[in-house]
Structure 1
Amino acid sequence: MAKMQANQMRAGMVIEFEGQRYTIIRQNIMIPGKGNAIIQVDMRNIKTGSKKDQRWRTADVVERLETSDEEFTFSYAEGDNIILMHPETYEQTTVPKDILGDRLPFLVENMTVQVRMIEGEPVAMTLPEQVTLEVVEADPVVKGQTASSSYKPAVLSNGVKTMVPPFVTQGDRIVVKTEDASYVERAKG
C-alpha cells in the first residue's frame, strides 16, 4: 500500500477506503467559486460491484493498492473454486468461481486467462474474447425460412444457449464471444 494525494487518483487505480477496496472509474476536479478544489470520484466496490460517489479535498491522502495483471492457465475446477497454474513457475492459485459470474461456462481446460491481482490477491479474471465450442443441439431450419432471416436457437457443448444462423447444424464447431455467447463464425478446419 502507498499513500498518495487525492488529486493523483486516476481511472483504473485501486484504493482502500473505509476498509473496502474500490476501483476508480472516473475523477473530476471541481473548483468552486470560493475555497479549495474538490475531487469528485466515481468508484466501484471490488467485492460487491456497487458504485459509490466520493468527494475529497486535493490535500486529502488516500491509500493506493498495488495492482498487477498476470497470465495463468486454467487447470481444473474444484467445488466453488477454480484452480489456475502460473505458466512459468507452475505454482497453483485458487480463485472463487463467482469471480467469473455468468462467463464461467466458457472457461475451458488449458485456457489462458488474465487475472488482476491486488496486493497479491486475485480480484478479477478476464477470459479470451472468443472461444470455439461444439453445437450439441440445434433446431432444424423451418421450411420457407430464408437463409438471411432470423437466427435459430442452439445449445453449445458447455450447456450455454445461443442463437446461430440457419446453416449451423448439430456437431458444427463455432466461435462465440465469451462475453455474451453470441455467434461469431464457423470454426475453421
Structure 2
Amino acid sequence: MATTADISIGSFIKHNGELCVILEYEHRTPGNLRAFYQAKMRNIRTGKLAEYRFRAGESVEVVRVEQKELQYLYAESDSLVCMDNETYEQVYVPKIFFGDSLQFIKEGVTVIIGFDGDNPIFGQAPPTAILQITYTEPGVKGDTATRAMKPATLETGAKINVPLFCNEGELIKVDTRTGEYMERVKQ
C-alpha cells in the first residue's frame, strides 16, 4: 500500500472500490489545522468527477495501469477492434470508454488504451481529428467577418457547427474532447 505522498497527477488509484485517475492534487495546510491532500479525480468506469480530502499519511491503493498506442481497425457491435502495431494482436475495446469523442474517430487512427493486466479499462481518442465535411449549406461570399456558424455533417457522421465560409469537401480540424471546429486544413 502506498501513502498520500506517493500520489501525483495522472496516478491511478482504487477509491471506494472504483478505479480513478487523479486530475488535480494539492497539499494544503490551513492555518493551525492538520495538513491534508485535496484530490480531484475521475472515475474511469463512469466518467464522473469527484473530490476527496485525504489525510496526510493515509494509505491509498495505487494501481499500475499500462498505456498502449493501438490502431483502430473497425467497429463490431458495441466494441472497437484495435490492433497492436508491434505484435499484431487484436483487442476488443468497449465503445463506452471513448464517450462523446467516439464520433470523431475514423478507421486507421491511433488511440490510447489503458490496460490493467490484459483487460482494457479505458480508451482515449487523439486530441484532434482531421475530417472531411460531407454536407453543409453553401457559403456566401463575404461571410467571413462575423463569427456566425452553420451545421455541417462530417465523414464519420458527426454533426458540428462550422463557420459560414466552410464548404463541402473541405478538410477541417476538430477538437475531439469538446467537438468544436478548430481550423481549416490545406490538402
- Which residue type is aligned with residue 141 of structure 1? G
Residue in 2 aligned with 1:168?
166
- Give the corresponding residue for 1:127: 125
- Which digits, 9 at most, give the CA deviation of each residue in 1:95-128, with x for residues without a partner? 1101111111211111111123334432332222
Aligned mate of 2:77, from 76, 79, 99 = 79
Between the aligned partners of 1:39 and 1:140, the Cα distance in structure 2 is: 54
Alpha-carbon distance in 1 for matches of 2:51, 2:181? 37
Match of 2:51, SS state, is: strand
Q: In the superposition, relative to structure 1, how do residues 177 and 44 fare at CA in structure 2: closer, same or farther (>3 Å)? A: closer
Distance in 1 of aligned mates of 2:161 and 2:125: 21
Q: Aligned with 2:112: secondary structure?
A: strand
Q: Is the 8 A contact 1:65 1:119 kept in 2?
A: no
Name the residue aligned to 1:109: 107
Structure 2: runs of 5+ lacking an equivalent: none
Q: How many residues align?
A: 185
CA contact (8 A) 2:71 2:108 kept: yes
RMSD over equivalenced CA pairs, Å: 2.5
Of structures 1 and 2, the larger Rg is shown by: 1
Structure 1 residue runs of 5 or longer lacking an equivalent are: none
Q: Is the 8 A contact 1:112 1:128 kept in 2?
A: yes
Residue 141 (structure 1) shift? 3.4
Question: How far off its partner does 1:83 sit?
Answer: 0.9
Deviation at 1:151, TM superposition (A): 2.9
Sequence identity, in percent? 32
Cα distance change, pair 49–183 in 1 and its aligned pair in 2 (3 A): closer
User: Does the CA contact (< 8 Å) of 1:152 and 1:165 recur in 2?
Assistant: yes
Q: What is the Cα deviation at residue 63 of structure 1?
A: 1.2
Aligned to 2:139: 141
User: Is 1:28 aligned with 2:27?
Assistant: yes
Question: Is the 8 Å Cα contact of residues 68 and 112 (structure 2) preserved in structure 1?
Answer: yes
SS at match of 1:100: helix
Distance 2:162 2:127 in 1: 18
- 2:5 match: 7
What is the one-letter code of the residue matched to 1:90? Answer: Y
- Provide the rounded CA distance (Å) in 1 between the counterparts of 2:35 and 2:152: 56
Q: CA deviation at 1:23?
A: 1.6
Q: Structure 1: how far apart are the matches of 2:57 and 2:169?
A: 62
Equivalent position of 2:14 in the other structure: 16
The residue matched to 2:100 in structure 1 has which SS?
A: helix
TM-score, normalised to structure 1's length?
A: 0.82
Q: Retained in 1: the 8 A contact 2:134–2:169?
A: yes
- CA distance in 1 between counterparts of 2:2 and 2:129 reads 41
